[in-house]
Amino acid sequence: MSKSAPGSDGAAKATATPREAGARPPRFDAAFKAQFAELVRWRRDVRRFRTTPVAPQLIEQLLALAVHAPSVGLSQPWRFVLVETAERRAAIAENFARANLSALEGYAGERQARYARLKLEGLKQAPVHLVVCADEETTTGHGLGRQTMPETIRYSVVAAIQTLWLAARAEGLGVGWVSILDPDAARATLDLPAHWSFVAYLCIGWPEEEHDDPELERHGWQERRCEQAKKPLRR
């Protein structure tokens, strides 16, 4: 749609290389916006993967798009790590099992029983394990914008993750964010550079099933409350 007049259906002429197209600002028509809304609504935190491999080029393509996320001072602090060895994957699975047991013990009664029934990760099945880190000491961007709010270096990385997540969903790929981990133990397992903070452990693969409702809602843990956001505070 980049080269078509506003409002026309230029999908067939779409290009992924705006610079080559003369860098004319794109216009996004109603059909695209409706599709984008569907993409956002059908993105899921996936824990049920098929073991079918994912082409490495597809992962590269997702990363290449993710790095167009906003970053504080254009610091581009995202650092990616593919976890490939069976030993490291097993250590991460054990890390999860310990943290999950500890979390389970924090619940009681019916809530605990419900927690025990949830499937909270797809570490064993997902063909791709992608760790996303923030380089806390990068000089890229010359420190601009993060003197008073240094956490924005990690927030930039999260913006890249959400971009990757949506791009993955558009390809039919599922992404699951495993946060039930001891991050220090994970850092040790993965032998990460000391100045990289551990932001996310992502499982990526072809999902076993597709839903427009979150797994935690479908399994009775927590309902969505989308209505409340429509009423922001006013100051």
To the nearest whole angstrom, how small is the minimum distance from the Cβ of residue 111 to a second copy?
Answer: 7
To the nearest whole angstrom, how small is the minimum distance from the Cβ of residue 51 to a second copy?
Answer: 20
Q: Map residues 4-23 to x or -, x wherever contact with a second copy holds by CB under 8 A.
A: -----x-xx-xxx-xx---x
Q: What is the footprint of a second copy within residues 117-176 (CB under 8 A)?
A: 118, 120, 130-131, 140-149, 151-152, 154-155, 158-159, 161-163, 165-167, 169-172
Residues in contact with a second copy, counted by CB under 8 A, come to a total of 117
Residue 81 CB neighbours (<10 A): 18
Backbone angles phi, psi at 154, to 5 degrees: -75, -35
Tokens representing 18?
């705006």
Half-sphere exposure of 134 (CA within 13 A, CB side): 20
Q: What is the footprint of a second copy within residues 46-85 (CB under 8 A)?
A: 60, 63-70, 72-76, 78-85
38 binds a second copy (CB under 8 A): yes
115 binds a second copy (CB under 8 A): yes
Name which of 63 and 125 has its Cβ closer to a second copy. 63
Rounded Cα gap, residues 28 and 44, in angstroms: 24
Strands 174-178 and 78-82: unpaired
To the nearest whole angstrom, how small is the minimum distance from the Cβ of residue 194 to a second copy?
Answer: 14
Name which of 122 and 154 has its Cβ closer to a second copy. 154
Q: What is the footprint of a second copy within residues 168-227 (CB under 8 A)?
A: 169-172, 177, 179-183, 190-191, 199-200, 210-212, 214, 216-217, 221-222, 224-226
Tokens representing 168?
């993955």
Exposure string (b/e) for 140-173, b if CB count within 10 Å is 16 or more? ebeeebbeeeeebbbbbbbbbbebbbbbbbeeeb
Rounded Cα gap, residues 16 and 110, in angstroms: 50
93 binds a second copy (CB under 8 A): no
Rounded Cα gap, residues 55 and 204, in angstroms: 11
To the nearest whole angstrom, how small is the minimum distance from the Cβ of residue 202 to a second copy?
Answer: 11
